Amino acid sequence: MGWFSRKNKPNKAKNSPVDIKKEVWSKCPQCGEIIWKKNLIEVDYVCTSCGYHFRLNFAEKLRFFTDENSFSEIFPDISCLDPLDFKDSLPYKKRIQKAISKTSQKSAFICGSALINGISVAIGFLNFEFMGGSLGSAEGEKIARLIEHAIENKLPLIIVSSSGGARMQESIYSLMQMAKTSAMLAQLEKEGLPYISVLLDPTTGGVTASFAMLGDINIAEPNALVGFAGARVIQQTIKQELPEGFQKSEFLMEHGMVDAIVKRKDFKDTLFKILGYVDGN
Ligand SMILES: [Zn+2]
C-alpha cells in the first residue's frame, strides 16, 4: 500500500527552512501576531498588536537599564551547589549543568556595578533563562554580597527580578535565602542607602515574598505577572472568583503594592529620576 511505503520524513537538518523561519520570526504568545524579529528589536520587544512584553535576555536587559559598556560583573564564579543530592526526573546537578551550558552563566543571578545616565549603582539581574530565574543558595549569596558591595561603596541598589520563586531542588536551603536577603536589605536601610526593585514578567513565589517587594520603590513593567501563589491555587483555596487582572502589575499598582508602572524604553530615565530624588538632588 502506498501509505505504508511512504518514506519517513527526513530529519530536519540544521538551518532547514523551519529553523530559519524561527530565527527570523517571533510569535506573540498573547495575541498570536507573527512579528519580524528585526522589527521586534526596534519596538523594544513589545508586541505592536497587543502590547505584550517579550522576555528579555541578559544582554537586552543591560541595554535597557545601564549605560553602554558600563557594567562590570562581580562574583561571577559563585555557582550552584547540590546540598541535598536532589533528583527528580533529572538529577539537580544535571539541571545545573544544562542551565550553565544554555546561558554561559554559573547562576541565575548576575550582578555588578554600572552607570545609569552617569550615576553609579550596584545592580543585579535574576535571569529567567537560568532555571526560571529561581532563587537558590548561590543566588541568595550573590544578592547578599551585592548588598554588602553597595554598603561598602555607598551605592544605591537596584535588583531587576524575573523569577519563578524559590528553587525547589534546594528545599529549605533556598527558603533560607528569603530571610538572608531580607536581613541584608535591612542593613542597607540602616546605612540610608536606597533600594529600587524592578519587577519584570514574571516575578512570583519566594522572590516576590522577599526582596522583590521590599524596595523603597517598587516599579514594574506593564502587564507583568507578579504574585506569590498561582491564581488557580488561590482560587481553589478561598473558593471565590478572582477579580479581573489579578496579579498583573496594573492591579498591584491600584492596590498599593507597586509604586509605578514603567515602559521598557523609559526604565533608565525613570531610575535616573528616582535616584536623583533619593539622593536629595
Ligand atoms: Zn501580541
How do residues 134-148 score in pLDDT, each as one tens digit? 999 999 999 999 999
Q: Ligand 1 centroid vs 221 CA: distance in angstroms?
A: 16
Residues 109/262, Cβ–Cβ less than 8 Å: no
CATH superfamily for domain 56-278: 2-enoyl-CoA Hydratase; Chain A, domain 1 (3.90.226.10)
Cβ < 5 A residues, ion ligand 1: 28, 30-31, 33, 47, 49-50, 52
Q: Ligand 1 centroid vs 213 CA: distance in angstroms?
A: 28
In which band, very low, low, confident or very high, does the pLDDT at 280 lie, cut at 50, 70 and 90?
Answer: low
- Cα–Cα distances in angstroms (integers) from residue 60 to residues 68, 124, 143, in the given order: 11, 14, 21
Bridge-based pairing state of the strands 217-220 and 195-204:
parallel
Residues 186/147, Cβ–Cβ less than 8 Å: no
**How far from the centroid of its chain's Cα atoms is residue 173's Cα?**
20
Bridge-based pairing state of the strands 195-204 and 157-163:
parallel
Q: Ligand 1 centroid vs 70 CA: distance in angstroms?
A: 32
pTM: predicted TM-score of the whole model, two decimal places = 0.89
Place of cell 561571577: 76
Q: Ligand 1 centroid vs 29 CA: distance in angstroms?
A: 7
Residues 205/231, Cβ–Cβ less than 8 Å: no
For residue range 235-248, what is the model confidence (pLDDT) as tens digits? 889 998 888 888 89
pLDDT surpassing 80 at residue 256: yes
In which band, very low, low, confident or very high, does the pLDDT at 24 lie, cut at 50, 70 and 90?
Answer: confident
Q: Ligand 1 centroid vs 6 CA: distance in angstroms?
A: 39
Q: Ligand 1 centroid vs 254 CA: distance in angstroms?
A: 24
In which band, very low, low, confident or very high, does the pLDDT at 37 lie, cut at 50, 70 and 90?
Answer: confident
In which band, very low, low, confident or very high, does the pLDDT at 97 lie, cut at 50, 70 and 90?
Answer: very high
Q: Ligand 1 centroid vs 165 CA: distance in angstroms?
A: 26
Q: Ligand 1 centroid vs 109 CA: distance in angstroms?
A: 28
Cα atoms found within 13 Å of the Cα of residue 133, Cβ hemisphere only? 28
Q: Ligand 1 centroid vs 116 CA: distance in angstroms?
A: 30
Q: Ligand 1 centroid vs 272 CA: distance in angstroms?
A: 29
Please, where are the H alpha helices in the chain? 2-5, 17-24, 37-42, 58-65, 92-103, 137-152, 171-190, 205-208, 231-238, 249-254, 267-278
Each domain of the chain, given as residue ranges in start order, spans: 12-54, 56-278
pLDDT surpassing 60 at residue 220: yes
